[in-house]
């Protein structure tokens, strides 16, 4: 199964994400979840970025929090709401919100 996970909060999600099993796991950072793409704690990047090679961040939510796309981790792809609709309907069979 191809599973898209909308991560909406900036907290440690290792346990939750590690327990999700999917043939393809996509992590889509939205709302306060966008901090995983750009912020560092104690000089370290978020461990969420290690959970999947398919990482996305919602550009509108990123910009509304004062980040530019130049500040996000290079593994993360910036997307619009329109791109997100395409991901939901064409890339992932199930979508969950955490």
Partner 1 sequence: MSKLTIGVFSSLVGSLSLDFAVKLSEAAIKKGHAVDFWVSGNATMLSKKGQRAFKDYSALQKPVQELLATGKFQITACEACAEARGYHKEDTLEGCKRHSMDWYLASCFSADRVLHIGGD
**Do 96 and 3 meet the contact criterion of CB atoms below 8 Å apart?**
yes
Restricted to residues 20-79, the positions that interact with partner 1 (CB under 8 A) are 30-32, 60-61
Nearest to 48 by CA among 60, 37, 63: 37
Closer residue to partner 1 (CB): 68 or 97: 97
Closest approach of partner 1 to the CB of residue 97, in Å: 5
Instruction: Give the one residue of 3, 6, 7, 27 binding partner 1; rule: CB under 8 A.
Output: 6
Stretch binding partner 1 (CB under 8 A), from 36-44, 46-54, 69-77, 86-94: 86-94
The pairs formed by 79-87 with CB atoms below 8 angstroms and a separation of 24 or more are 79/28, 83/56, 84/28, 84/56, 84/58, 87/4, 87/26, 87/28, 87/56
Applying CB under 8 A, the residues found at the interface with partner 1 are 6, 8, 30-32, 60-61, 80-82, 84-86, 88-89, 95-97
């Amino acid at each position: 199964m191809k599973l898209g996970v909308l991560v909406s909060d900036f907290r440690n999600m290792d346990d939750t994400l590690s327990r999700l099993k999917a043939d393809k796991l996509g992590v889509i950072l939205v709302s306060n979840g966008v901090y995983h793409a750009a912020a560092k704690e104690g000089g370290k990047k978020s461990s969420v970025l290690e959970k999947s090679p398919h990482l996305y961040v919602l550009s509108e939510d990123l910009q509304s929090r004062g980040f530019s796309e130049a500040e996000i981790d290079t593994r993360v792809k910036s997307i619009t709401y329109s791109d997100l609709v395409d991901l939901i309907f064409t890339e992932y069979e199930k979508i969950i919100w955490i």
